[in-house]
Structure 1
Amino acid sequence: MMGLSLSRMVAVLAKEFTQLVRDRLTYAMIIGIPVVQLLLFGYAINTDPKHLPTAVLVQDQGQFSRSILGSLQRSDYFSIDHVARTPEEMNKLIERGEVQFAITIPGDFTRRVVRRDKAQILVEADASDPAATGAAVAALASLPAEGLKHVLKGSLATINPAADPFEVVVQRRYNPESITSYNIVPGLVAMVLTMTLVMMTSLAMTRETERGTMETLLSTPLRPLEVMVGKLTPFVVVGIIQATLVITLARLLFGVPMAGGWAALILGLFLFIVGSLSLGFLVSTLARNQLQAMQMSFFYFLPSILLSGFLFPFRGMPEWAQWLGSILPVTHMLRVVRGAMLKGVGIAEAAPSLGALALFVVIVAGIAVKKYRTTLD
C-alpha cells in the first residue's frame, strides 16, 4: 500500500479549486446567495409595516375632523393616499387592495363630540394579512386621547374629562379573527406551484440533454414552439392537480373561506402555471446540467419567497424591495388567490395582477422559444 503523498493531495486540491472557479454559475451561487440573503433580511424584511396606504371618507368638515386627520398623518402607521367621496368608492379601494385601511368620519361627529354623545369613527382594515395590520390597529387605541387634545379647550375640555371624547370602531374585513392560516394557506398555492413546476420542467429538459435524447428532437422537423407545447402540456395537468389539492385541503383542514371569485382564480392559476413552466423551460436552455438547473431554480425561489408577501408583509418592505417584488409573478398570483378566496374579487378587480401574469407569460415564453431556436441552429 502506497503511503500518503502531500504533493498528490495538493494537486487534487488545486484541480478542484480550478474546476470550481471555472464553473461560473456555482461560483456565483456561492457568493450570491449569502449576499442576497443578507441584503433581503437586513434591509427588505420588516415585520412592523408603517406608512400603510389609507383612504378616508370625511362627512364632517369641522375642526375636529381635521384634527383627527392630522393626527393620523403624523402617525408612522397611516399614509392618507385617497380621499373617497362615497362609501362605494371606499369599498372598491379596500376590495382591490389599493389601501390597507378605510376610515370614515360621520357627518354628526362634531355634534356628538361636543355633546359627549358617544361619537364614533369607523376604521375598516384589510385584515387578510394579520401581520400587516396588527401594529397599526393597536396604535389606534391612543387616537381618542391624542387626536383632539389640541382642539378641546375651555368648557369642552371640562365635560367628563375622564372619558374619551370619541370611540374608534375597528372592523377587520376578510379575516375578522386574524387567523394566520387564512393568509398563509392560500398563498401556498403559488409557492407549491413555483417550487415544483419550475424545477420539474428545468430538470426534465436538462436531463434529456444530458442523456442525448434532445439530439433526437433536434434532428426532427419539430419547431421550437411545438416542442415547448408538447413538453409542457403534461406539467400543466400536474399543476392543475396540485392547485386543486391545496385549495381543497385548505377548505377541509383549515376552514379557509371560499368567498367566490372562481373566474379570477381559474384564469390566474392557468396563467401562473404556464408562466412557471415557461420559466423552467427557459432555465433548461441556459443550464448545462441538472445541478446548474437546480441552482438557477433555487436562485429564483429565494426572492419569490421573501419579496412576494408570502411570509412577510409586502407593504412593510422599502420601496425598492416592493418594486423588485412587483416584478415576480408569485407576488401577483398571491394577490389573485388571496383576493379570490378571502374577498371574492372578480376578474375586473384582479385585472392588474392578471395582466401582470399574462405579460410574464408572453415575455418568458418568447425568450424561451428564441433560446431554444438558437440551440437548434
Structure 2
Amino acid sequence: MTFQVEENVPLAPLTTFGVGGRARWFARATSEADVAEAVNWAAARGVPLFVLGGGSNLLVADEGFKGLVLRMEIGGIEAVGGGRFVVGAGVEWDEFVTRVVSAGFAGVECMAGIPGSVGGTPVQNVGAYGQEVAEVIDAVRVFDREKLIFVWLDNKDCGFRYRESRFNIDEPGRFVVTSVRFQLKQGGAPNLKYADLRKRFGLDVNPEAAKPSLQEVAVAVREIRASKGMLHSPNDADSRSAGSFFKNPIVSDSLVGSIAQAASVATENVPRWPAGAGLVKLPAAWLLERAGFVKGFGSGRVGVSTKHTLALVNRGEASFADVEQMQAEIVAKVEALFGVRLVREPVKLG
C-alpha cells in the first residue's frame, strides 16, 4: 500500500504565496485507492480533511491545519478519442495545456501558464484571457464523501459559474476530484477575444491581419502573464502570490454612474462587461488603482505586486495575519469609495 501519513508537515513551501503553519497530518494520493483510504482515515479519527493540489490559490492560516492534508498526485494524460482527454487531478495544469496545444487541440490555449494542478481547475472554474474551464470540461471524476463512491459528474452537474462551482460553493468538502475529462476541438481556431492578445497580434488595428496559431497564442499568454508577475517563477519575487487576489465584482448596472462619479471619470469610461440582466462585471484592478492601491503599494511584508495591481505578494517572511491586514485595508477603502465590496479569490485553510 502506498498510503502513508506524516505528522506536522510545513505547508507554506507547498503554496505559491508561502505563508502559514503546519498540517497536523499529511499524506499523498497517487491513486483513487489512496483517496478512499485518506477519507476513511480522517473519518475514523474525527478529523477534517483538506485536499491540496498545486497550492496556487491557497492561503494557509498561521496556526496551520489541525486535520489531514491530502496532497493530490494522481497523474496521467490519456487521449480517449474525439478530442477528449482524461487527466489526473495531480497533473500540472500547464503541462496539460502544453501537450494538447502542441497537438493542435483548441480550447485551453488562453489558459497557458496558470499555476496549479488539473484537479483544482473545476473547483474554482479557472479562467483567463477569454476562456474558462467550464467551456471545455466534459465531466469530472470525484469521490463522493457522503455516498463513499467514485462517480463521474457531467458538466451540468458541476454548477459552474464565474470562479465558482458546486465543489467550492454549493457542497464544499463533499467531493474529492480525482480526474477531469476535457472536450477540446482538434484544429480549432484560437480564442482571440482578450484585448491584450488582439493588441499583441495587431488585430486591434487590423482585424484582417493574419491570425496566430494555437501555440503562438499560448506563448503570448505566458509572456503576458510573466510581464504581470502571474507566471510562477522562483526568480520573480512578484510571482510569490496567489494570482488574482480579488474576484471581479458583479454589480447592478445602476451603480455605474455613482462609481464613475466617485472615480471622477465619465460613465462611459468605467470599464465593464455584461453579466446578465441588469448586471455588469467590473475589473477589480481598476477599482484598486482608483482607490490608491497602485502597483508596488505597501511598505510591509505584504504589498501590491509591482507588475499587476490585482496581485498581493509575499515580500519575504510574511504571515497570514499580514495578508489579512492588507486585505482588510483594501476591502474597506474600495467599499467606502465605490460601494462595492470585494471578495477574496484564494481559499483560506485553517
What is the TM-score with the length of structure 1 in the denominator?
0.24
Ranked by relative contact order (alpha carbons within 8 Å, sequence separation 6 or more), the top structure is: 1
Q: Which has the larger radius of gyration?
A: 1
Structure (1/2) with the larger helix percentage = 1
